[in-house]
Structure 1
Amino acid sequence: MKIRAFLLLGLACTLLAVWGTPVSAHDSLRSSTPAKNAVVSGLDHIELEFSAHVSFPVVILHDAAGHRFESGTPRTDGPTVTEAVAGPLPSGSYTVAWRVVSSDGHPVEGEIPFTVRSSSTSPGRAAPSAGARATAAADSGGQSGIPGWVWAVLAGLVVLGAAALLSGRGNKRAEKDEPS
């Protein structure tokens, strides 16, 4: 009886590991231009790439004083969101605040801080520095939700409790069936 309970537990944990995690996961930010904490010499657009198709994007670019620099409305092309930047950015600290609706219907949001250091010898806007376009996977920027591993652990504990209950009932039946 105990072997059957452990096999049931193993099967349940395997099924949860395979199907449970993707179901509870929201789309995440894979990369951005500019990257988190990048130092750029200028910026003419913001690009956010997500792990899946997103919709209803909101992108706000502001400096430390709260002045906004985005231009127009963000455009979506599958998993990529692009936003134009209004005019050349003066040197200083900036933040890209973003919010999208994940492919599972839940809102996901985050922030990407970066710095502009304008070169006094180069006129106009320059492209982002070499390090500006990098993956932001390690920082999904304030996403909310319960991680998949938490659900897997909770489900495992429920299955373990059920197996212990079933195992206890089997032992009581065996004791009643034995002649005295």
Structure 2
Amino acid sequence: MSHSLLRPASLALLLLGLAAAPWALAHPSLVRSSPAAGATVAPANQIELQFSERVLPRATRIELRMAHGRLQMAIPTASQQVSADGYTLRAGFATPLSAGEYHLQWRAVGQDSHPITGDYRFTVK
């Protein structure tokens, strides 16, 4: 192959690789939540988190804590499951959440097996 053809082909491959890099490095991110971050909501017995890509059910979960003065009281879930399409985590509670301030921490693992974490707060009135 002549040098005049090799240079444009190399440049095209480099540009293609750079364009695909963000997809290769993508991780799940939180797209929507119910209740939403910072929201004040009525008592509910389910939390729903929707992610930007499929997550692995065995490694994706939430932990919920309720502010009780200076202490944080863990609120156990009755169930946690990822939807059939793999994009939504639903956590259910045996009884509706009582009035108070909550801190939700989540962990999601995408198809690339890298864990991503996040957290937010909401209030139940």
User: TM-score, length-normalised on structure 1?
Assistant: 0.55
**Which amino acid in 2 is paired with 1:103?**
Q
Q: Give a deviation string over 1:116-166, Cα, whole Å, max 9, x none.
A: 11xxxxxxxxxxxxxxxxxxxxxxxxxxxxxxxxxxxxxxxxxxxxxxxxx
**Following TM superposition, by how much is the alpha carbon of 1:112 offset from its aligned partner in structure 2, in angstroms?**
2.0
Distance 2:52 2:11 in 1: 30
Distance 2:101 2:14 in 1: 47
**Following TM superposition, by how much is the alpha carbon of 1:9 offset from its aligned partner in structure 2, in angstroms?**
8.5
- Corresponding position of 2:39: 38
CA gap of 1:23–1:91, structure 2 versus 1, over 3 A, is same
Distance 2:61 2:97 in 1: 20
**Following TM superposition, by how much is the alpha carbon of 1:59 offset from its aligned partner in structure 2, in angstroms?**
1.2
**Does the CA-based 8 Å contact 2:49-2:88 persist in structure 1?**
yes
**Which amino acid in 2 is paired with 1:46?**
I
- Corresponding position of 2:66: 63
Larger strand percent:
2
**Does the CA-based 8 Å contact 1:63-1:94 persist in structure 2?**
yes
Task: List gaps (5 residues or longer) in structure 1.
Answer: 118-180
Match of 1:20, SS? helix
- Corresponding position of 1:18: 19
Distance 2:54 2:119 in 1: 19
**Does the CA-based 8 Å contact 2:61-2:89 persist in structure 1?**
no
> Percent identity among equivalent residues?
31
Trace 1:1-180 onto structure 2 (pairs within 5 A).
11=12, 14-55=15-56, 56-64=59-67, 65-77=71-83, 78-117=86-125
Q: What count of residue pairs does the alignment treat as equivalent?
A: 115
Task: List gaps (5 residues or longer) in structure 2.
Answer: none
Distance 1:92 1:72 in 2: 19
**Which amino acid in 2 is paired with 1:105?**
S
Larger helix percent:
1
- How large is the Cα RMSD of the aligned pairs? 2.4
